Structure 1
């Protein structure tokens, strides 16, 4: 795959550069492509099965499903119980992942945590386990490639931004780009949770700056201010996801003054189901 291009947008009178990782692939794109880069380079015969877990809105789930379809690996994905309406949807990440051959297994909520903790106990050498959101040390290689692409552009900008779920992308990008400021904001849980997730993968460097959200946001819940930013970004010429990008741009607009290179996280395939929820909640 070729290096992703860089675009420029204007949002509320501010200029932002955007690293177009969303254009790498329709399903295997954005930071999930970077996280899965090492596995994509792995010979097809090294593994026969990939296991992961998390939520059914997950962009990582879809990216892993697309990768496994490409590599002809079995993909097993564990979640807590899913609603009947979710299972019947004919759009969104869950639907597309099933079409890629994902085997979905539901675990009762009271058993879920212990079950996930035991996944590696009976694992064999042909099975690779990817933690929720792609939070694995193997992601470091792909973020190193991204860092080299950014350096090769010889930009005047010395600040980059990427939103965080587990913080894997932000952490490894900051480690690979010590001469840059790397801004992020927690989109799942709070700052304390984000730091805990990142610390499990490595030491948090001083150039990684976590921007505190202006209020507590619940992941995947519709917020009118997020939809407003999403529409403004769309009008600026680029489609972004509804789960991560609005939170990151809101933090940048309110807390950062310098010009920033935003790393597009991809994930726009999940907008189909999210927009439906926004329409229902706000009568759009």
Structure 2
């Protein structure tokens, strides 16, 4: 946790949390904002989404509650934050059989003190809906993936860093689970085009998720594939994009990034600043799945 504490100490003395790197790919010039390098655990859009909680005094809460999948990047980030703050972290998932890979997000989150609670699938939705009921003042429920209005402040800080960078381009790209980062980035930067694509569900589901937070602005452009992709399922074209991107000198996550890179390569032609959303710790378990499916040999 040393790096996270260092991040807190340096916060008031720095103008930008991450650098911008030129990134040539397929004959085009892209730029990448290296939010993945902010912190080993709290990197990328997870730092931005958890910004308000990061700057919340330790005495304000004693318990943080969240829910989602067992390989969630948000789960690991929240576990790291709670470890630093001294808060109890309860995390709810549907019942599943979990392979204890010591390098997986789940194993690392457990190592940081996360208390995992499994729910039967038929009870899951109703129980999650009830979490907000009878909540005491020292507990806080963070919705799946950090989809919360409290994420706005951190994304606005990201927007300010982009403006102050002096970069000439006016098109950005960021992948979407809940769409929280893309939505608040588009609201904060109305003079920019913001490209995103749904990693979970289709375009209509993503719009529904974002609309629950704010009205969607016109500068937010949702790119959608003709082919239907299932969330976190291995695909040959995704591992090929991942390997191509890694050869270019930057590792991106295997769940969200490949689909968006596929879309911006196929459906755009301008220079784009890609916001690296981190999440590469989950690649260990994803690469195992690709090996198991025979899509990679090493």
> What TM-score do the two structures reach when normalised by structure 1?
0.98
Alignment partner of 1:79 is 2:93: yes
* Equivalent position to 1:223, from 211, 235, 238: 235
Tell me if the contact between 1:191 and 1:210 (Cα under 8 Å) persists in the aligned partners: yes
Q: How far apart are the structure 2 equivalents of 1:248 and 1:205?
A: 20
In structure 1, distance between residues paired with 2:100 and 2:192: 45
Q: Which residue of 2 aligns with 1:186?
A: 198
What secondary structure sits across from 2:149 in the alignment? Answer: coil
Structure 1: runs of 5+ lacking an equivalent? none
Alpha-carbon deviation of 1:87? 4.1
Q: Does the Cα contact within 8 Å between 1:30 and 1:266 map onto a contact in 2?
A: yes
- What is the deviation of 1:262? 0.2
Match in the other structure for 2:10: none
Q: Tell me how far 1:10 sits from its aligned partner.
A: 1.7
Encode CA deviations 1:54-74: one digit per residue, 9 max, x unaligned.
001111111111111111110
Identify the match of residue 45 of structure 2 among 16, 24, 31: 31
1:1-284 matched pairs, under 5 angstroms: 1=7, 2=14, 3-83=17-97, 86-282=98-294, 283-284=296-297
- 1:19–1:261 CA contact under 8 A, matched in 2: yes
C-alpha distance in structure 1 between counterparts of 2:100 and 2:158, whole Å: 37
Give CA-to-partner distance per residue, 1:214-243, whole Å, 9 cap, x none: 311111100110000000110000011000
Cα-Cα RMSD: 0.9
Name the SS of the counterpart of 1:160 in structure 2. Answer: strand
TM-superposed CA distance for 1:14, in Å, is: 1.7
Count of paired positions:
282
* Structure 1 residue 89: Cα displacement: 2.1
